[in-house]
Structure 1
Amino acid sequence: MTEQLSNNPLLTPLEQLMPYEAIEPEHIVPAIEFLLKEAKALIEQLITVAEPNWDNFIEPMEYGTAGLWRAWNVVNHLNNVHNTDAVRSAYNTLLPQVSEFSTWIGLNKALFEQYQTLHQSEAFQVLSKTRQRIITEALKDFELSGVSLEGEAKTRYAEMCEQLAMTSQQFALNALDATDKWSYHIKDAEEVAGIPEQVLAAANDLAGGKGWTFTLKMPSYLPVMQYASNQALRQRMYQGYATIASEQGDKQFDNSDNIETLLKLRLELAKLLGFKDFATMQLEKRMADSPQQVIDFIRDLAAKAKPFAEKDMAELSAFARQELGMAALEPWDLAYVSERLREKKFAYSDEEVKQYLPEDQVLNGLFTIIEHLFKVKFEATEAQTWHQDAKVFALKEADQLIGYLYTDLHARNAKQSGAWVANERTRQRHQGELITPVVYLTCNFTPPQGAKAGLLRLDDVVTLFHEMGHALHALLSKVDEPSASPFASVEWDAIELPSQFMENFCYEWPVMQKLSRHQESGEPLPRQLFDKIIAAKNFQTGMQTVRQLEFALFDMLLHQQLEQQTIADVLTLLDEVRQEVAVLMPPSWHRFPHNFSHIFAGGYAAGYYSYKWAEVLSADAYSYFEEHATEEFGTLNPQAGEHFKNEILAVGGSLPATEFFEKFRGRPADPAALLRHHGMVDE
Structure 2
Amino acid sequence: MTNPNTNPLVDFTDLPRFDAITADDVAPAITALLEQCKAVVTQIENDPVSATWENVVEPLENATEKLSRAWGIISHLHGVCDTPELRAAYNENQPLITEFFTALGQNLVLFKKYQALHDGPEFTAYSVPRKKIIQNAIRDFKLSGAELAADKKLRYAEIQEQVAALSTKFSENILDATNHYSLHIDNAEALAGLPEDALLAARTKAEQAEQSGYLFGLQFPSFYPVLQYANDRALRATIYRANTTKASDLGENPEWDNTELMQQILALRNEEAHLLGYANFAQVSLVAKMAESTEQVSQFLLDLAARAQPFAVKDLEELRHFAKETLGLDDLQAHDIAYASEKLREQRYAFSEQEVKQYFPEPQVIQGLFSITNTLYGVDIKPDQASTWHPDVKFFRIEKNGQLIGQFYLDLYARDGKQGGAWMDDARGRRSTADGIQTPVAYLTCNFTAPAANAPAYFTHDEVITLFHEFGHGLHHMLTQVDELGVSGLSGVEWDAVELPSQFMENFCWEWEVLQQMSAHSDTGQPLPRALYDKMLAAKNFQSGLQTLRQVELSLFDMRLHDGYLEQHQLSVQALLNQIRAQISVMKTPEFNRFQHAFSHIFAGGYAAGYFSYKWAEVLSADAYAAFEEAGNNAEIGIKFQKEILAVGGSRTALESFIAFRGRAPEIDALLRHSGMKS
Residue aligned with 2:542, SS = coil
Offset at residue 45 of structure 1 (A):
0.8
Q: Does 1:617 align with 2:620?
A: yes
Inter-partner Cα distance in structure 1 for 2:332 and 2:24: 60
Offset at residue 116 of structure 1 (A):
2.5
Q: Residue type matched to 2:663 in 1?
A: G
Q: Residue type matched to 1:274 in 2?
A: G
- The answer (yes or no) to whether the contact 1:256–1:567 under 8 Å persists in 2 is no
Q: Residue type matched to 2:439 in 1?
A: T
Q: Residue type matched to 1:70 in 2?
A: R
Identity of aligned residues (%): 47
Residues 440-479 of structure 1 mapped to structure 2, 5 A cutoff: 440-446=443-449, 452-479=455-482
Offset at residue 480 of structure 1 (A):
0.8
Offset at residue 508 of structure 1 (A):
0.9
Offset at residue 385 of structure 1 (A):
5.3
Q: Does 1:99 align with 2:93?
A: no
Q: Which residue of 2 aligns with 1:287?
A: 290
Q: Indicate the RMSD between aligned Cα atoms, in angstroms.
A: 4.5
Offset at residue 169 of structure 1 (A):
6.9
- The answer (yes or no) to whether the contact 1:29–1:94 under 8 Å persists in 2 is yes
Distance verdict in 2 for CA 1:650–1:334, change over 3 Å:
same
Residues 93-492 of structure 1 mapped to structure 2, 5 A cutoff: 94-161=93-160, 164=163, 196=194, 262-324=265-327, 329=332, 334-382=337-385, 389-409=392-412, 418-431=421-434, 433-446=436-449, 452-492=455-495
Residue aligned with 2:490, SS = helix
Distance verdict in 2 for CA 1:219–1:566, change over 3 Å:
farther
Q: Does 1:674 align with 2:660?
A: no
Inter-partner Cα distance in structure 2 for 1:173 and 1:386: 19
Q: Residue type matched to 2:275 in 1?
A: L
Q: Which residue of 2 aligns with 1:36?
A: 34
Offset at residue 266 of structure 1 (A):
3.4
Residue aligned with 2:567, SS = coil
TM-score, normalised to structure 2, is 0.83
Q: Which residue of 1 aligns with 2:53?
A: 54
* Structure 1 residues not aligned, in runs of 5+: 630-634
Distance verdict in 2 for CA 1:35–1:456, change over 3 Å:
same
Q: Residue type matched to 1:66 in 2?
A: E
- The answer (yes or no) to whether the contact 2:220–2:420 under 8 Å persists in 1 is no
Inter-partner Cα distance in structure 1 for 2:652 and 2:459: 37
Range with greater deviation from structure 2 (332-341 or 230-239): 230-239
Residue aligned with 1:315, SS = helix
Offset at residue 482 of structure 1 (A):
0.5
Residue aligned with 2:497, SS = coil
Q: Residue type matched to 1:466 in 2?
A: H
Q: Which residue of 2 aligns with 1:642?
A: 639
Q: Residue type matched to 2:45 in 1?
A: I
Q: Residue type matched to 2:41 in 1?
A: I
- The answer (yes or no) to whether the contact 1:264–1:564 under 8 Å persists in 2 is no
Q: Residue type matched to 1:317 in 2?
A: R
Q: Does 1:665 align with 2:662?
A: yes
- The answer (yes or no) to whether the contact 1:378–1:394 under 8 Å persists in 2 is yes
- The answer (yes or no) to whether the contact 1:267–1:562 under 8 Å persists in 2 is no
Residue aligned with 1:487, SS = coil
Q: Does 1:510 align with 2:513?
A: yes
Range with greater deviation from structure 2 (537-546 or 322-331): 322-331
Inter-partner Cα distance in structure 2 for 1:241 and 1:8: 40
Q: Which residue of 1 aligns with 2:652?
A: 655
- The answer (yes or no) to whether the contact 1:277–1:562 under 8 Å persists in 2 is no
- Deviation string, structure 1 residues 397-444 (Cα, Å, up to 9, x no partner): 234332333444456676655543332221111248322222333445
Q: Does 1:605 align with 2:608?
A: yes
Q: Which residue of 2 aligns with 1:498?
A: 501
Distance verdict in 2 for CA 1:330–1:37, change over 3 Å:
closer
Inter-partner Cα distance in structure 1 for 2:41 and 2:542: 55
Inter-partner Cα distance in structure 1 for 2:415 and 2:130: 43
Inter-partner Cα distance in structure 1 for 2:417 and 2:247: 30
Offset at residue 540 of structure 1 (A):
0.9
- The answer (yes or no) to whether the contact 2:262–2:603 under 8 Å persists in 1 is yes
Q: Residue type matched to 1:136 in 2?
A: Q
Inter-partner Cα distance in structure 2 for 1:388 and 1:180: 20
Distance verdict in 2 for CA 1:258–1:649, change over 3 Å:
closer
Inter-partner Cα distance in structure 2 for 1:346 and 1:522: 23
Q: Residue type matched to 1:127 in 2?
A: Y
Q: Residue type matched to 2:488 in 1?
A: S
Q: Residue type matched to 2:362 in 1?
A: E
Residue aligned with 1:624, SS = helix
Offset at residue 201 of structure 1 (A):
9.0
- The answer (yes or no) to whether the contact 1:260–1:567 under 8 Å persists in 2 is no
Inter-partner Cα distance in structure 2 for 1:432 and 1:482: 15
Inter-partner Cα distance in structure 1 for 2:99 and 2:218: 38
- The answer (yes or no) to whether the contact 1:187–1:212 under 8 Å persists in 2 is yes
Residue aligned with 2:287, SS = helix
Offset at residue 93 of structure 1 (A):
5.4
Inter-partner Cα distance in structure 1 for 2:81 and 2:254: 37
- The answer (yes or no) to whether the contact 1:391–1:406 under 8 Å persists in 2 is yes
Q: How many residues align?
A: 670
Q: Which residue of 2 aligns with 1:632?
A: none
Distance verdict in 2 for CA 1:350–1:584, change over 3 Å:
closer
Q: Residue type matched to 2:115 in 1?
A: Q
Inter-partner Cα distance in structure 2 for 1:406 and 1:418: 16
TM-score, normalised to structure 1, is 0.83
- The answer (yes or no) to whether the contact 1:276–1:562 under 8 Å persists in 2 is no
Offset at residue 174 of structure 1 (A):
8.4
- The answer (yes or no) to whether the contact 1:477–1:650 under 8 Å persists in 2 is yes
Q: Does 1:532 align with 2:535?
A: yes
Distance verdict in 2 for CA 1:565–1:170, change over 3 Å:
farther
Residue aligned with 1:477, SS = coil
Offset at residue 640 of structure 1 (A):
0.9
Offset at residue 5 of structure 1 (A):
5.6
Offset at residue 511 of structure 1 (A):
0.4
Inter-partner Cα distance in structure 2 for 1:676 and 1:189: 44
- The answer (yes or no) to whether the contact 2:429–2:489 under 8 Å persists in 1 is no
Distance verdict in 2 for CA 1:85–1:274, change over 3 Å:
closer
Q: 1:551 aligns with which of 549, 554, 571?
A: 554
Q: Which has the larger radius of gyration?
A: 1
Residue aligned with 2:404, SS = strand
Offset at residue 676 of structure 1 (A):
2.0
Distance verdict in 2 for CA 1:455–1:292, change over 3 Å:
same
Inter-partner Cα distance in structure 2 for 1:249 and 1:454: 32
Residue aligned with 2:46, SS = coil
Residue aligned with 2:587, SS = coil
Range with greater deviation from structure 2 (435-444 or 499-508): 435-444
- Deviation string, structure 1 residues 332-364 (Cα, Å, up to 9, x no partner): 654453343233224434443343333222222
Q: Residue type matched to 1:434 in 2?
A: I
- Deviation string, structure 1 residues 97-138 (Cα, Å, up to 9, x no partner): 433332332233322232223223223233223212211211
- Deviation string, structure 1 residues 600-623 (Cα, Å, up to 9, x no partner): 555433222122112222222212
Distance verdict in 2 for CA 1:4–1:177, change over 3 Å:
closer
Residue aligned with 2:290, SS = coil
Q: Residue type matched to 1:545 in 2?
A: T
Inter-partner Cα distance in structure 1 for 2:5 and 2:543: 60
Distance verdict in 2 for CA 1:45–1:661, change over 3 Å:
same
Offset at residue 72 of structure 1 (A):
3.8
Offset at residue 58 of structure 1 (A):
0.9
